[in-house]
Structure 1
Amino acid sequence: MSSTTILSLPAELRQQIVAQTISATIDKKGYHITTPFSSVCKTLQADANEVLSLWLPTASADPLVFVKNPDPETFKHFHAFHQLLNERAARLKNSAWPGVSEITIQVFDQVWNGTNLLKGTHEVWRMSMGAAVYSSQCCDWVTRLEGLPDSVKTVKFDLTLGVKETEAVREAEESMQKIFWYRLLQMVKVIVRPSRSLLSSDRVSTVQYEVVGTFPEWMEDAMGTPSEVELKYYRGEPVSYGEGLFAGFMKNVHKKREAIMLEMKTAAEKKAKKQLALENAREKMRKKMMVKKDFGRRMVELKKRKREVGDVGEQSSHTSNGVKRQKTEDGSVFR
């Protein structure tokens, strides 16, 4: 029995499969609508050409529209891309198409543009500084996102590290790695929840932001362990990114932090019990020493009293003997 391949399927089914793989990428150079089936063979190329001219992204599909650089040129191309799709929907008489409703911004394809990430710790520091709360890019991002079409209801930030970023961050010290992530997450929070002076209230209410991607497994333990700052200023409670905006992206880190906090709590309880037992032992020893000291003091006083009583008795004896001798001597005189 021969196995079924995509080429053996009817053209309609092949084109349905191809249509599910289409995505659009927008960067400073323009927009690109592609499918991995292009250039595989003439048959699939023909299928791709057929469906590419009809493609309209839907909200129910996986993220299909990727933005690689939120600068004026990129968003200029995005608006041209959106206009193309609107005209296509009108040509196809698809009045139900709502427009592009979701975009995904691939953060590490553009945030560190122009930075040589392979120089180690110094460059990681530059990366972390670039992701600082007060970075000018934050304001730029907010401004560009405010200019998105009203049809865009969801903006996803893909924080998956690229190859160059992974190499640079991984070579850095653990403390620098944590600073890098803290600053990056802070930047995203500022972009997502900017002040009213940066983003109009209507856009705040209509756009939903999400953080997606894969947090590097090799960083989970480091991020899960409270830093010295957290231990000092938060009394051991680690800064939590496992809720809300970062719940999905940081879920494994959140689990590790909970486990580490439990270990810390257990260790603290054991230490407290040990300290209490030590204090009890010291108190018991102190009481024992006090009893011994008191007993010694009493014995000294008792001996002292005995000596005093003995001295008084001896003195009385001497006095009595003296009187007897005096009487004897007196008697001998009268005789």
Structure 2
Amino acid sequence: MTRGLHLHVGLPKCGSTAIQRVLAERRRALRDRGVDYPRLIDRPIGNLTPYVLAQRPAETQSLFRMNNPRVDLAATGDALRAALDGSGAPQMILSSEALSHPLYPVRLDWMFARFDEVQVHLFLRPRPDWVLSHFSQRIRTGGFQGDLDALVNAEDTSDGLRRMLRYSDHVAFWERCAGPGTVRLHFLGERFGPPARQFLDAIGCADLAGETGQLRANEGLTAFELCVLSHLPRRDQRGFLAKSHKVRAIAARFDPAPGAALLTDALRQRIEDMTGDDTARLLAMQDRITAGDMAPATPDARPQTSFGDLTASAAFADCVAALKAEGLWQPP
């Protein structure tokens, strides 16, 4: 029997949660088609994520351990090998956007050797949209305090952003790992469809997609909600996460401009400048994603704002007063 592996590697902030949720929900139907999505963790996140994080330094595992206290990272290698050896399906899916972290590459050659064919699925999106989604996630999880401009320009983050946004380097890396022609590119854009549908179509199971719209957990926060969360006093990340949902709900009541955009024209240009000639390199490597996909011609017509504008507003002062009355805005 010929064995094939479909390896979903992200990028992060490119629909991974939606893909992994659908794969978990369709696990039995996929198995009936000869496609195994092994249950390596009892949550709808990437089934390969525990193994990937186990290869990283301990100080980078804190958030995962906080959210998954019953997972023994030390045992993930044995669990993965058991799943690989015990599966009788001709096709297997393994997924983790953590594989695409530029600072923590993971060697998978031992795993690739167990399959006759390997296809790597790499999802991309317009870079400014990726940065905004990344920023929102960092704020939402308490991992960053500051505005979007600070994230883009900070010395300790800009190099990591630049590496993540060099899309052609990701393609080249995975072709070195899995072999030439093994990378299938997907894209978050209007003409490509929902990410989960793209993935299921690529593995020959498009009819299992069903309704695969965006998940609520991954919808973007408004500029005002992000601003309030960024300025929220906190002692530690755990304490921040414990009250962040209540804070968001209160902030939404005072939001003076729910449709305002944090991505200014200047920031968009700065993000594009970070990657130099990478778009040209990516376009030369493949013919699925076009220049128009990478840089949509339609400008963002929403009013632009900044954390500076928002914190100076009466709405921000009123929101802080309400949070203090609820005991949610307290000095650390």
TM-score bracket relative to the smaller structure: 0.3 to 0.5
**Which structure has more helix as a fraction of its residues?**
1
TM-score (norm 1): 0.32
Larger Rg: 1
**Which protein, 1 or 2, shows the higher relative CO under an 8 Å CA cutoff with sep ≥ 6?**
2
